[in-house]
Structure 1
Amino acid sequence: MNHTSAGWRTAQHEPSLSEVFRSVAIPMGASRFRRFLAFIGPGYLVAVGYMDPGNWATSLAGGAKFGYTLLFVALLSNIMAMLLQSLCARLAIASGRDLAQACRDAFPRWVSYPLWLLAEAAIIATDLAEVIGTSIGLNLLFGIPLEIGIFITAADAFLILWLQNRGFRWIEAFVIAMLGLIAACFAVQIAMADPDWGAVIRGFAPSVEIATNPEMLYIALGIIGATVMPHNLYLHSGIVQTRAYGQDPAEKRAALSMATWDSTIALMFALCVNASILILAAATFHSTGNTEIVEIDQAHALLTPLLGGSIAPTLFGLALLCCGLNATITATMSGQIVMEGFIRWRISPVARRLITRVIAIIPALAVILIWGAEETGRLLILSQVVLSFQLPFAIVPLVMFTASRTKMGDLVSPRWLTLACAIVALTIIGLNANLLRTVIFGA
């Protein structure tokens, strides 16, 4: 497929996710609202990464230990996500490239290959969280031991294959249905927990303690790592191109507007779910003195005596399983985009899924066998902190590309957006540096 080579080393590259590229028609003669409906979908696939099992571990730990204080971090990281995901849609629509292809076409190999390896590491860390989260969900609902559950999770590759054969809209419909079920589960649990809504509102205000308390900073950084996901930046820049929008400047600008609205609305929904997890932990555990909850199964076990009903833990387990299934689909797509974009290596999504899943199963199984199932929650939080350290290597190129008029043409990012996203990048880098200093020097 040909695109302008201005600012890029080559004008010739394969379409992103070629099997579903431009497969969703946009009714050009229809009203703006009907055209927007055709754009709804990619944002919700992106939103999945903002409420995957890794978020559960960090939000549960943060809410149980520090009450509602870290709600501000959830809000801040969600605003960061909205800004960065808008850049992903801009890059895709303006250049016809996903972020992986853009890195390959803009940087020499000695830069792009390390970026590829870091992106793969981020996807493995993401998959590790999904392996643990889904297997815990299976354990909570059906009593399946974790060490068996993590092998059962490999079967989700066949779910992905079936959905992809049905068409990309089927994938989006499945994901949105699961998201609706997750939201309903948490709505019931929050109603049962009856939180202090005044404290909830105050929790969205910033606190100096977040930066000065090393333990709070560690969990805060985990929340940012679990919320702003490196693989989501690659994912969004690829799946936006499933829409068959027009190629003239006016139609591209309209497509960018609708794609941005799609992701922004979906991420507001994700914030509600993430905040619900933290609020549930604060209202149920922190208020009763159970401040050391870092394990998802611990939280599940305590919900029945604290909320006084057997339905709460069942809904908790069901929501967790739905999150794991959803995250499975999007992580597979991200892996495909990264591998094909950086090194032009095409393998089937199922084979890709099984390879990534096997790599993630090994550390999860090792932790369970050596230290026991009770340590899986700490591994989840660690995986999210690892993701946070990967973030700058995806964000910095994204901001660079979208700020370049030679690469983006008329759809170059406005200066205020570039500045805001540069501040986001510097904030994450600064938080990472501060955490590293704390870990090394202990102060």
Structure 2
Amino acid sequence: MDANVNWRSGGWRTERGEPPLADVYKSIRVAPNASHFRRMAAFIGPGYMVAVGYMDPGNWATSIAGGSKFGFTLLSVALISNIIAIVLQSLSARLAIASGRDLAQACRDAFPKPVAYVLWLLAELAIIATDIAEVIGTAIGLNLLFGIPLEIGVIITALDVFLILYLQKLGFRWIEAFIMGMLGVIAVCFFVQIALADPVWGDVIRGFAPTTEILKNPEMLYLALGILGATVMPHNLYLHSGIVLTREIGESVREKRQALTYATIDSTVALMFALLVNASILILAAATFHTTGRSEVAELGEAHSLLAPILGFAIAPALFGISLLACGINSTVTATLAGQIVMEGFIQFRMPPWMRRLITRAIAIVPAAIVTIWYGEGGTAKLLILSQVVLSLQLSFAVFPLVMFTASKAKMGELVAPRWLSVGAFAIAVFIAGLNIKLLYDVAVGS
């Protein structure tokens, strides 16, 4: 591409192609003359779909393992991860609103084809890791509530494609309403469990203070990276930048700025809500298991079976199972949309949603089924945590392009990120990369 083409396309290497999720693109109308409250209400939804990634089954595994092993210490990681997520998700919304592109399309339109293909493969790997966690978590939820064997539960998870197809047929607002309803169920279940556990709140508050011990202890760092990978998920950056464009955003700078404000409020409030639930998982594990000397609890099934005898309430395991199943179902919906955005954005390859879902679910079911049959529940717990660490290792390959794009005046125009935000985001990207390098070093030297 010559310089003249770059200038015409606003700093992008190629012209913008077909919009993400074309069947629902700008399908949610935002009345230009409506009150601020009604316009803001029109933007409520995408943030909560992103928040699902903060409560998925992989997050449960790392938080339960971290809480039982190290008490409340890793709450600081949950807090830092949430702050990082708020910054990065706001940049995802900014990229979409300013350029009309999701992150996958932006990578395709900015980088040479070989680079874009590598990033696409890494993004697909991240989605597969996410899907593995959902498959296992949903299967465990079915097992805990209905006694369905894990091997059968893994296969049953493939049927969620029909739920997604039904919701998509009703309209995108119905998908968002379903997600938000399930999040409400999860929150109620956990808040009741926390009340039953009755933790020492002074210790909980102190757990939010960062400590250097996390960097010095390889096992703690491994779990910390698992929490980071389970919280700031690569596919969420692609997802958010795509579903924000389901809103009918005006073309003027004023309308785009207003849309960005509303989208940022939506994601920030949703992520603060997610932090409460995310922290609740770790607090429950610390208050229930760590304080009673059970520091090796990592399997979700083991945690479920121990809740009733420790807390003394028969309802506690049922609430645990219900919320886990709700998390698994919720995550399948958002991961499907993320997979669709990634495939269509990077390689402009479109297929029916049901086919896309079956392919990604099949790829996830195979390793999950093998581990479940061969190693049993103990193996699934290790695979859950490993999947979250893989997500953390993939995160930099989504974050660095996002920071680069949103800091470019040529690409973002008047909505370019402020210098302080770009500097902060770049520091976050370097921080994540540094932690991952430290983890790889620890693995290489055998610690």
Range of TM-score over shorter length: over 0.9
Post-superposition shift, 1:230?
0.2
- The answer to whether the aligner puts 1:300 opposite 2:300 as a matched pair is no
Q: Which amino acid aligns with 1:157?
A: V
Q: How many residue pairs align between the two structures?
A: 441
Task: Specify the alignment match of 1:382 in structure 2.
Answer: 386
Contact 2:16 2:109 in 1 (8 A): no
1:243 counterpart (235, 243, 247): 247
Kept in 1: contact 2:301–2:377 (CA 8 A) = no
Aligned counterpart, 1:43: 47
Q: 1:31 — aligned with what?
A: 35
In the alignment, the residues of structure 2 paired with residue 144 and residue 310 of structure 1 have an alpha-carbon distance, to the nearest angstrom, of 20
Residue 392 (structure 2) pairs with residue 418 (structure 1): no
Identity, % of aligned positions: 69
User: For 1:273-294, what per-residue CA distance to the aligned partner results, in whole angstroms no more than 9, with x for missing partners?
Assistant: 0000000000000000010011
1:209-247 per-position Cα deviation (integer Å, ceiling 9, x unaligned):
011011100000000000000000000000000000211
Dislocated runs of 4+, deviation >3 Å: none
Confirm whether residue 150 of structure 1 aligns to residue 164 of structure 2: no
Counterpart of 1:223 in structure 2 is 227
The superposition leaves residues 341-389 of structure 1 with CA deviations (integer Å, 9 ceiling, x where unpaired) of 0000001111111100110011111111222222111100000000000
Distance in 2, matches of 1:143 and 1:4, equals: 60
Render the CA deviation track for 1:250-295: whole Å, top value 9, x for unaligned. 0000000000000000000000000000000000000000100110
Looking at structure 2, the residues matched to 12 and 312 of structure 1 have their Cα atoms a distance apart, in angstroms, of 51
Whether 2:446 is the aligned partner of 1:439: answer: no
Which residue in the other structure is 1:289 paired with?
Answer: 293
1:206 matches 2:210: yes
Choose which of 171, 174, 184 in structure 2 pairs with 1:167: 171
State TM-score, norm by structure 1: 0.99
Choose from 362, 366, 371 the match for 1:367.
371
Counterpart in 1 of 2:69? 65
What's the counterpart of residue 355 of structure 1? 359
CA distance in 1, matches of 2:119, 2:143: 36
Change (3 A) 1:92 1:4: farther
Aligned equivalent of 1:320? 324
Structure 1: gaps of 5 or more residues: none
- 1:303 partner amino acid: L
Amino acid at match of 2:346: F
Long gaps (5+) in structure 2: 1-6
| Rounded Cα–Cα distance in structure 2 between residues aligned with 1:259 and 1:170 | 19
Task: Please state how far the C-alpha of 1:4 moved relative to its aligned partner.
Answer: 6.2
Aligned to 2:3: none
Does 2:117 align with 1:122?
Answer: no
Residue aligned with 2:54, SS: coil
CA 1:250 to 1:377, structure 2 compared with 1: closer, same or farther past 3 Å? same
CA offset at residue 310 of structure 1? 1.2
Evaluate the alpha carbon distance shift between residue 73 and residue 4 of structure 1 in structure 2; reply closer, same or farther with a 3 A threshold: farther
Residue of structure 2 in register with 1:185 after alignment: 189
Offset at residue 12 of structure 1 (A): 3.7
Give secondary structure in 2 for the equivalent of 1:24. coil
Letter in 1 for 2:342: V
Deviations 1:40-88 (A, max 9, x none): 0000000001111110000000000000000000000000000000000
Match of 2:4 in 1: none
